[in-house]
């Protein structure tokens, strides 16, 4: 399953001059996104920087937020219904947040349990919503939003270059290097200049601490730390962050797949490499069904043709004077016609003649009913007067005649006797 990891540009903040940086930065024009792609979420396949509309296509899209765009708060998760959990979190964090709770998006740690301590990530709601909307406008639909760093144990220390205010004094490389310190008690990002970084990191640091640095910050990091560090390019760190269990798309920013989006997501998943075996299996099953149905139909056609040929041979042998064309067209009709003609010559009535039908009606006539008042006969149909008959009497009359292949219709004081389909006897 291919993965696209996109770095959301760091949120613009007021400079010392009180502006939001350059006009392009303030308006969002010309925004380019650093990104990496991976075939399996583990190996880095490609990386680059481009506009949102030029981002590569992938099965899964993960957006990563900068360290300075997420704040962290430790709370005991309240026992509240899911529909009211967001409001409960806002009430708990109201004093700790720098903005109004309605302007802040909150997200819970993975596997957070009610009544247990947990971490809550806080992000500017308006800013994050705008960033996701900009990507969606370019047909880049983000499945997960993850932080670059999160409270972790063992601690992680990462050194990276930072942008320096063009108007500020340049006093050595320390001005352009920052340390991101993720530890069990939170996440902090500080510059190496001054003593804050020294005060933040325990001395000595925990032995299991994982240290890394970007290529441009590696020398300064090793000088500050007094020990070698692992060099990690920004793309590698993006891919590492994408493997986090965190997902900030919660509550009102939870991803909703409806209509065309749901269909597109299903199609994308179906045509992903992980589903290749399923696709092959479905195709093989469909082919097997088609072949099987054709073989079965061919067998049925062959069986029907054999039965028709046998019946035609029987009719030809029994009635040699019958027309061969009529036999080929409808052998059964010829058989019935010839049998009726023989019965007529022999003076024997057929099943649908008046006499057999009267005998059948008499055999089922209720003992408590008088003789029939009137009757009417048509070839194959005998209509009897049944005025005053009760429903049980009609049902009994019908049930007695049914095993012999007769059907009885009752309506408006009349009983109509006829042969049931397939019930005639030769």
330 or 289: which carries more pLDDT confidence? 289
pLDDT over 90 at 307, yes or no: no
Residue 261 is predicted with a pLDDT of 58
Per DSSP bridges, beta strands 156-161 and 177-183 are: antiparallel
pLDDT score of 264: 65
Give yes or no: residues 204 and 335 share one domain: no
CA distances from 259 to 90, 137, 262, 265, 352 (A): 32, 17, 5, 10, 63
- Average pLDDT, integer, range 288-304: 91
pLDDT at 423: 57
Average pLDDT, integer, range 63-90: 93
Answer yes or no: do 288 and 371 share one domain. no
Tell me the pLDDT tens digit for each residue of 376-400.
888 888 899 888 888 898 899 999 9
Residue 238, in any domain of the structure: no
Instruction: Give long-range contacts, CB 8 A cutoff, 24+ apart: 206-211.
Output: 206/154, 206/155, 208/154, 208/155, 209/154, 209/155, 209/156, 209/157, 210/154, 210/155, 210/156, 210/157, 211/157, 211/158, 211/159
How far is C-alpha 239 from the chain's CA centre? 26
Q: Looking at 316, 343, 370, which one is the last position of a domain?
A: 343
Average pLDDT over every residue of 289-316: 88
168 has a pLDDT exceeding 50? no
Residue 29 lies in a domain: yes
Residues 284 and 328 in one domain: yes
Q: How far is CA 45 from CA 80, 120, 230, 236, 374, in A?
A: 43, 32, 20, 10, 96
pLDDT at position 335 over 80: no
Identify the weakest region by mean pLDDT among 150-159, 189-198, 340-349, 393-402.
340-349
Here the CATH number for the domain that contains residue 375 is 3.30.1360.100
User: Are 301 and 363 found together in one domain?
Assistant: no
Q: Are residues 113 and 38 in the same domain?
A: yes
Is beta strand 414-419 parallel, antiparallel or unpaired with respect to 381-385?
A: antiparallel
Is the predicted pLDDT of residue 273 greater than 90, yes or no? no
Indicate the Cα dihedral angle 213, 135, 72, 150, nearest 10°.
-40
Does residue 65 sit in the same domain as residue 207? no
Q: Residue 239 falls within a domain, yes or no?
A: no
Phi, psi (rounded to 5 degrees) for 148: -65, -35
Determine the angle formed by the axes of helices 354-364 and 391-401, rounding to 10 degrees: 120
Task: Calculate helix-pair angle for 276-318, 331-346, nearest 10 degrees.
Answer: 30
Domain count, the chain: 4
In a domain, 188, yes or no: yes
Residue 374: pLDDT band by 50, 70, 90 thresholds?
confident
Residue 315 domain boundaries: 278-343
| Residue 295 forms part of a structural domain | yes
Q: Pick from 328, 343, 358: which residue ends a domain?
A: 343
Average pLDDT of the chain to the nearest whole number: 84
Cα–Cα dist 118/356, whole Å: 92
Q: How far is it, in rounded angstroms, from Cα 197 to Cα 17?
A: 26
Contacts of 171 (CB under 8 A, 6+ apart): 193
User: What six digits make up the tokens of 17?
Assistant: 């001059």
Whether 364 and 338 share a structural domain: no
Comparison of pLDDT for 350 and 2, the residue scoring more: 2
The answer to whether 32 and 40 have CB atoms below 8 angstroms apart is no
Instruction: Tell whether the model's pLDDT for residue 255 goes beyond 90.
Output: no
Residue 6 domain-assigned (yes or no): yes
Please tell me whether residues 95 and 132 are part of one structural domain: yes
Identify whether residues 132 and 39 lie together within a single domain. Answer: yes
If asked whether residues 33 and 132 sit together in one domain, one would say yes
Name the domain boundary from 307, 324, 343.
343
156 and 144 share a domain? Answer: no
In this structure, are 266 and 143 located in the same domain? Answer: yes
pLDDT band at 361 (very low <50, low <70, confident <90, very high): confident
CATH code at position 110: 3.30.420.380
Q: Is residue 162 part of a domain?
A: yes
pLDDT bucket at 20, cuts 50 / 70 / 90: low
Angle at 354 between CA 349 and CA 360, to 5 degrees: 95
CB-CB contact of 109 with 119 (8 Å): yes
């Amino acid at each position: 399953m291919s993965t696209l990891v996109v770095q959301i540009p760091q949120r613009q903040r007021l400079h010392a001059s009180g502006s939001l940086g350059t006009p392009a930065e303030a308006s969002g024009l010309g925004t380019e996104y650093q990104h990496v792609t991976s075939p399996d979420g583990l190996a880095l396949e490609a990386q680059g920087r481009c506009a949102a509309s030029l981002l590569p296509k992938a099965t899964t899209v993960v957006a990563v937020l900068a360290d300075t765009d997420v704040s962290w708060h430790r709370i005991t998760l309240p026992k509240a219904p899911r529909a009211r959990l967001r409001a409960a979190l806002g009430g708990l964090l109201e004093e700790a947040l720098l903005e109004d709770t309605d302007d802040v998006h909150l997200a819970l740690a993975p596997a957070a349990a009610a009544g247990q301590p947990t971490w809550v990530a806080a992000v500017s709601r308006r800013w994050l919503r705008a960033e996701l909307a900009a990507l969606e406008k370019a047909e880049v639909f983000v499945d997960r939003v993850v932080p670059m760093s999160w409270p972790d144990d063992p601690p992680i220390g990462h050194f990276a270059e930072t942008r320096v205010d063009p108007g500020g004094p340049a006093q050595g490389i320390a001005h352009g290097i920052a340390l991101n310190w993720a530890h069990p008690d939170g996440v902090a990002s500080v510059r190496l200049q001054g003593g804050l970084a020294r005060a933040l990191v325990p001395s000595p640091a925990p032995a299991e601490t994982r240290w890394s640095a970007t290529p441009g910050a590696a020398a300064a990091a090793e000088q500050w730390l007094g020990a070698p560090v692992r060099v990690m390019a920004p793309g590698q760190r993006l891919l590492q962050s994408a493997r986090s269990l965190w997902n900030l798309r919660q509550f009102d920013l939870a991803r909703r797949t409806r209509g065309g989006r749901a269909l597109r997501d299903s199609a994308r998943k179906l045509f992903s490499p992980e589903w290749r075996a399923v696709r092959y299996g479905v195709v093989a099953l469909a082919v097997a069904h088609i072949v099987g149905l054709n073989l079965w139909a061919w067998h049925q056609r062959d069986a029907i043709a054999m039965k028709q040929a046998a019946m035609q041979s029987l009719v030809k042998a029994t009635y040699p004077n019958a027309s061969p064309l009529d036999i080929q067209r409808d052998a059964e009709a010829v058989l019935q016609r010839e049998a009726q003609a023989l019965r007529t010559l022999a003076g024997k009535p057929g099943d649908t003649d008046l006499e057999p039908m009267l005998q059948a009606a008499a055999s089922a006539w209720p003992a408590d009913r008088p003789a029939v008042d009137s009757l009417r006969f048509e070839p194959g149909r005998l209509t009897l007067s049944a005025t005053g008959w009760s429903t049980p009497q009609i049902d009994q009359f019908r049930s007695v005649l049914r095993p012999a292949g007769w059907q009885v219709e009752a309506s408006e004081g009349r009983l109509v006797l006829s042969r049931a389909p397939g019930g005639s006897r030769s």
